[in-house]
Amino acid sequence: MVGPRVPSVRLVVESRAAVYRFRKHVHKVRKISANGRRQKAKKKDWLDDPGGKGREIAKEIVACTACAAAHH
């Protein structure tokens, strides 16, 4: 626990491997005109999310800066 008016830091205690699947048509594409404004699209354009693998936080704690420095 960190008391009031004490700067805090989030420390990652545990992480896990994660695999993200391919997702079709999840990111909307906005077209920009030559003058820098968005165009009103008659046809909606979407991009796919390729998925992949990586790490994600499983558990984290909030600690004071002194405890965070001692942890590393």
Q: Does residue 17 lie within any of the structural domains?
A: yes
Instruction: Say how many residues make up the chain.
Output: 72
Give the pLDDT mean for 8-19.
95
pLDDT score, position 29: 79
Number of domains in the chain: 1
For 49, the token pair is 């999310």
Give the pLDDT mean for 5-22.
94
Q: Does residue 2 lie within any of the structural domains?
A: no
pTM confidence score: 0.57
pLDDT tens digits along 14-53: 999 999 999 998 888 777 666 766 666 556 788 899 999 9
- Which residues fall within 8 angstroms of residue 43, CB to CB, at 6 or more apart? none
Confidence of residue 54 (pLDDT cuts 50, 70, 90): very high
3-state class of 69 per DSSP? helix
Domain containing 35: what range?
Answer: 8-71
C-alpha 69 chain-centroid distance: 24
Q: Does residue 59 lie within any of the structural domains?
A: yes
Q: Does residue 37 lie within any of the structural domains?
A: yes
Q: Does residue 24 lie within any of the structural domains?
A: yes
